[in-house]
Structure 1
Amino acid sequence: MRAPARTPAVLPALALMLALALNPAAAFAAGDLPAPEGLRTEIDFWKRVFGATGRDTGLVHDSLYVGVVYGEVSLKDLSPRARRSAIRAAVRDYRNVLLRLADRRPGKLSEKEQRVLDAWGADPSRETLRAAAGRLRVQQGVAEKFRDGLVRSGRWRDHILRTLEDHGVPAGVAALPHVESSFQPHARSSAAALGMWQFTRSTGRRFMRIDNVMDERLDPWRATVAAAQLLTYNHSLLDSWPLAITAYNQGVGAMLRAARQLGTKDIETVVRRYKGRTFKFAGRNFYVELIAAIEVEEEAERLFGPVPLDPPIDYVMVQVPDYMRLSTLAGALSVDSSMLASLNPGMRQPILSDSKYVPRNYALRVPPMADARDRVAAISSDQRFASQIRDRNYVIQPGDTLSLIAQRYGTSVTRLMQANNLRNMHRIRAGQTLEIPGLAAREPIPDGAETYRVRRGDTVGRIARRAGLSEDELLALNDIGNRNRIYVGQELRLTSAHLPIPQPPVAAEAPEPAADDDNGIVASAPAVEPAPTGPSFGVVSLADPNDYTVLDGDRVQVEAAETLGHYADWLEVRTQRLRDLNGLSFGRPVSIGKRLRLDFSRVSRDTFIQRRVAFHHELQQAFFSDYHVVGVSEYRVRRGDSVWQLMRRNDVPMWLLRQYNPGLDPDTLEVGAELMFPRLQAKNGRTPS
């Protein structure tokens, strides 16, 4: 029913310059983003939603071929309950029409029946119509919201375009907040994505500070930089901007699998043919919605009339040299704290109420004033502090686990449970308040402890001595062949007993969206919920390219930080059983990137995947609680280099290095090969050392 794919058209820069001359509101319509003619019906559908259909109207359409629109349903002056009833009635009506047409006999058709047939163009088969009866969806118009977002965009437009250019991202991507949030800095989705660029917590932590003091997802300036970093990262792995943009919503791992399965990176082929587990309506439509938003901006004056943009927000940047109260900074600058809060929306309530300090080395936006830096520098020493105010209590955030909280505050899960009378470490909820017990910086490893999590400054020798083991015993227990190959956050065995089986992260997340969101829906906003992540979906975060599923032949590819002992624990079998299956001798560590055969006689494949993903989720969240990525450096391998030396030199753990360099074999490094190293910054503003 679709015409053969044709060569994609490109949104030309020349058209942009002409559009800018005639209409300043079209500034985002630019870049080398293809608008495939084979997806034109989808693009035109979203242009209709964004630019020609208001909130009082719903479009009844096919969820797979969104350009097939059967009719409209009026939602004007209806209460939410009456609106839902009207939508359900419209869906039932059109479903009955489609089923009648599927069973039709020659005869006169009603006006509605003819309209439904005409929506399919050529005479559709009965099978097509019967299948379409199960794919009805209602999309509410958002023209008013789009125009309001266009007006708001003026506040950050210059910053967005400049940031994208600095990172080499096509300028057309600057229209993405239309699709994600209508340029609303405090937008929140049902999947707990937050801010103008709609970052989930797990993905956002990679590039921003997100904790009980700061949530930079709410900061349009900082989140714009993070979005550019994520898109650049996606493109470095996919070498396709349409797929990199789709990966922003679906995850880079999903798009790598799509390209691998289909043997192409063509966006039209991926949209039409990819059948990934979570690649549903939002994924299929994400890129075409962006192209539609770009084109609606180009035609903004024709569609909406004159659109005066909000003026850019003026500010200057001042680095806060020490921990300070917000009220102290406001007083020194002769402004209200509320003014500083509005210019720095990533600061959370503890800072606003002075129960926490503004972090040291924080880049603070302040109203334009020539002497702002001098005023801050003149703040007296008794108003400067060397460390942050310690928490006595902590409010659990979505995505938290007790082990993450314990690591963040330098305590143990056991002490947290004792201090808060918790019986089950996995039964905590977002919004719950925990008391944080005080403790020494380095506790001795308790007698009988079965595991230990590596901290900064640890070595194999120090851990072994504190645990009462020899170095060789510690290395053997953890299948470690090189005593220098440990990293912060790694969990080490201290006994031969099985480790506690990792559980999926605590249910402190907002409810995850259903995997299939195609049918019977009324959508009041574009369908852009990020693909679900978490153990049940086999995805750690949208920025993690690894495939944690089970491959053909009951095999898995070994990822960094995994050991034979982990697999044995997740499978509830003996380690020797896995050695026998794979012909491995005792003490021989598994090699990263190699494939191992597993035994699923005791647990299901889904349970294994959940436990595996839970392990990596917790590992990565613990790391990104302390650091975030601020950039990428390229390095050309020289004679004498080793991966392990380069890791230590750049303070990058192996699992993160492999995410930036998929396929990297740590045991085989070619001279002249180019490696990408993420540059990390600690929460306190310093790079790790």
Structure 2
Amino acid sequence: MWKALLLIASLLVAGAVSADETSPPATTPQGQGLSPQPAGLFPVPDSLRTAVAFWKRIYGDVDSKGGLIHDSDRLDIVYEQLDLSFDLEPDKRIERRLEHYRHLLWELAEDSPTGPSCEEQRLLALLGGAPSARELKEAAQRLRFQRGQSDRFEAGLVRSGTWRSFIDQALAAHGLPLELAVLPFVESSYHPLVFSHAGAAGLWQFMPSTGRRFMRVDTVLDERLDPYASTLAAAQLLQFNRRILGSWPLALTAYNHGVSGVSRAIETTGSGDIGVIIQNYRGPLFGFASRNYYPAFLAVLEIARHPERHFYPNPQPRHPAERSRLELAAYLPADQAAERLGIEKAELRRANPALGDPVWRGSKHIPKGYRLNLPEGHDEEKIAGLLQQATLEAGQSQQRPDIQYQPGPGDTLASIALKYQVALDEVRAMNGIKEDKIIRIGQILRLPPPGTSNSPPGSEEGMRRYQIRPDDTLSQIAERFGLRTFELMKTNGIIDENDAIPGQILMVPQPKARPGEQACLVRQGDSPSRIAERYGLRTPELMTANGLDEQDYIREGQILRIPKPKARPGERIYRVRPGDTLSRIALRFGLMPSELIEYTRISGEEPLKPGKILRVPLVAREPDS
């Protein structure tokens, strides 16, 4: 590492960084592109021009309903542009096309005696005309699919207006170039509530460990989801990267790969030139995303400067929002805040996504010093007096303390949560315990105050969480959970369907029973199959009615919709009445008791509860009255 730092220092001394690069840039009109900067700030090496062109195509021309099958090293080689608009199973289509090209490349490597087909000739031309068998096999291993981003970029251009004024001011205050304001297009499509599969979150996609260096990230307050706090944190991180590494191409690459990782790349290649590093460095963690981070930044920078070349009509950014000035002078329970401000708790929660589940459950207070955001339509000046009165009358001088618990023999997280009437998910989150991790006797666990919750996150409002997947649309999600699209949008404060993007967490209301349906409260020990059997349903019917799939699990206290059972061919549905026995029901429908027992798989000794649904096979005669 010290060798890399000496090399960086020598580059600085040699004049690799000009004084102009550190001077604060002039501000620009909101949403009207970027002011010109010295050419040396963000150079485009010749070796990266094809990569930049590739990412301009991804962000400017190909939307998320399609993508490109390409060579992961040579981005000038694009085998096919896929349109997935009408595919019900797009992932399978993508894999089939990838396998198609793998097969063709391997066939070419084997040198078929019949000669190459027309399509194989096209592949040979893409690979230079006469690639060797080894080169063909290596190309087969480098096949990759990249989904388009143009529609998400366009929606991000509109969203960006909300925070661009603040971001420009923050960058200027830290002496950073305004061009860095396009980084959220790469990270999150300018969406403040996105989570990645790796755990990064927010507008600037901070990982928890990195985020904690510059802001608060815990179960009470996750400032990664605060666009203002995370912007200040991003400015500090970028400033740090630039000071250590000496150039913006390296500093930006470090935003994705880390300062230590980029320093290793410099030491290994003996160069601080980003083009040389991307072309020659093959560190174990320096993968496709890290190699392409700087080219992708250059591509979005160019598109943001000239959006009219890619989008028609030219997207108009939203009006800028002001950062809240409602800073709490004391710790305040969320229930009290909502009640005294005259704002529905669900509305207040949507306006303050950085506040964690413990705050809304009541096991923690809104922290002292927190800037409370108001839902749209509320006057901040009018609310300020109410908030001051609320903190005087209901404010607390300290946060609600946790308690400590030492597990004993037979203890499980579920039994501990039930004993203290707290949320199991919150216990896991507070102690960093994954679902499959076993607790140890003698281990010290942190628990929220007893009795604050006995239900999963958001269940006090009848909600569950859902993370949007790449091919989801709001209408599809709503249909899956038995909702109407406008209900889902209203619950999450979504005005435009384009504001919902992959990685975003939605709060989904529990589906309400419709006419002819029942509602079922999940009890301890219940499973979908047991509940389905109880109500005379097949398990897939119950799962579909409640928007569940095989990866989902149900929780005690959850409300499930029970659809009206549908008779299959050759049977009828019968609801057990008071006093019924299997023998009486069999007689009523002209069956032998043994026939009904065999069909329903119910023991003749088992008592029948009124309301239980039975499926009864049809016979020729009508039932007795």
Normalized against structure 2, the TM-score is what? 0.58
Amino acid at match of 2:56: K
Matches within 5 A, 1:167-566: 167-305=174-312, 306-330=314-338, 335-338=343-346, 340-366=348-374, 369-370=380-381, 374-379=385-390, 381-392=392-403, 395-396=426-427, 400=431, 422-423=440-441, 425=443, 435=447
Whole-Å separation in 2 of the counterparts to 1:424 and 1:209: 29
Whole-Å separation in 2 of the counterparts to 1:206 and 1:30: 30
Look up the SS of the partner of 1:59 in the other structure.
Answer: strand
Q: Assess, with a 3 A threshold, how the Cα gap between structure 1 residues 214 and 303 changes in structure 2: closer, same or farther.
A: same
Q: Assess, with a 3 A threshold, how the Cα gap between structure 1 residues 109 and 222 changes in structure 2: closer, same or farther.
A: same
Q: RMSD of the TM alignment (CA)?
A: 3.8
Whole-Å separation in 2 of the counterparts to 1:399 and 1:280: 32
Q: State the Cα deviation string for residues 56-107 of structure 1 (Å, max 9, x = none).
A: 3231111112221112233231123xx2332222122212332344454899
Amino acid at match of 1:279: F
Is the 1:49–1:142 Cα contact (8 Å) retained in structure 2? yes
Q: CA deviation at 1:46?
A: 0.9
Whole-Å separation in 2 of the counterparts to 1:249 and 1:228: 14
Normalized against structure 1, the TM-score is what? 0.53
Amino acid at match of 2:231: T
Look up the SS of the partner of 2:326 in the other structure.
Answer: strand
Q: Identity, % of aligned pairs?
A: 35
Is the 1:318–1:365 Cα contact (8 Å) retained in structure 2? yes
Is the 1:315–1:368 Cα contact (8 Å) retained in structure 2? no
Unaligned regions of 5+ residues in structure 2, if any?
1-15, 404-421, 451-466, 468-501, 504-625
Q: Assess, with a 3 A threshold, how the Cα gap between structure 1 residues 166 and 125 changes in structure 2: closer, same or farther.
A: farther
Check if 1:71 corresponds to 2:89: no
Is the 2:204–2:231 Cα contact (8 Å) retained in structure 1? yes
Q: Assess, with a 3 A threshold, how the Cα gap between structure 1 residues 260 and 368 changes in structure 2: closer, same or farther.
A: farther
Aligned residues: 404
Amino acid at match of 2:67: G
Task: Select the residue among 78, 103, 114 that pairs with 1:96.
Answer: 103
Give the match for residue 546 of structure 2.
none
Check if 1:118 corresponds to 2:128: no
Q: State the Cα deviation string for residues 15-44 of structure 1 (Å, max 9, x = none).
A: xx99978x9453498673222222010111
Unaligned regions of 5+ residues in structure 1, if any?
1-7, 403-416, 427-432, 439-509, 511-527, 530-689
Task: Select the residue among 134, 143, 153 that pairs with 1:146.
Answer: 153
Is the 2:331–2:365 Cα contact (8 Å) retained in structure 1? yes
Q: CA deviation at 1:382?
A: 3.7
Amino acid at match of 2:54: F
Whole-Å separation in 1 of the counterparts to 2:286 and 2:351: 37
Whole-Å separation in 2 of the counterparts to 1:286 and 1:399: 33
Whole-Å separation in 2 of the counterparts to 1:132 and 1:380: 65
Q: CA deviation at 1:309?
A: 1.7
Whole-Å separation in 2 of the counterparts to 1:122 and 1:230: 46
Task: Select the residue among 59, 65, 82 that pairs with 1:50.
Answer: 59
Q: Assess, with a 3 A threshold, how the Cα gap between structure 1 residues 259 and 396 changes in structure 2: closer, same or farther.
A: farther
Q: CA deviation at 1:119?
A: 2.5
Q: CA deviation at 1:129?
A: 2.4
Which protein is bigger by CA-based radius of gyration? Answer: 2
Q: CA deviation at 1:241?
A: 1.3
Is the 1:59–1:71 Cα contact (8 Å) retained in structure 2? yes
Whole-Å separation in 2 of the counterparts to 1:168 and 1:238: 16
Is the 1:33–1:170 Cα contact (8 Å) retained in structure 2? no
Is the 1:154–1:312 Cα contact (8 Å) retained in structure 2? yes
Q: State the Cα deviation string for residues 152-180 of structure 1 (Å, max 9, x = none).
A: 11111111122122222322221111111
Whole-Å separation in 2 of the counterparts to 1:232 and 1:258: 20
Amino acid at match of 2:353: P
Amino acid at match of 2:257: Q
Is the 1:153–1:183 Cα contact (8 Å) retained in structure 2? yes
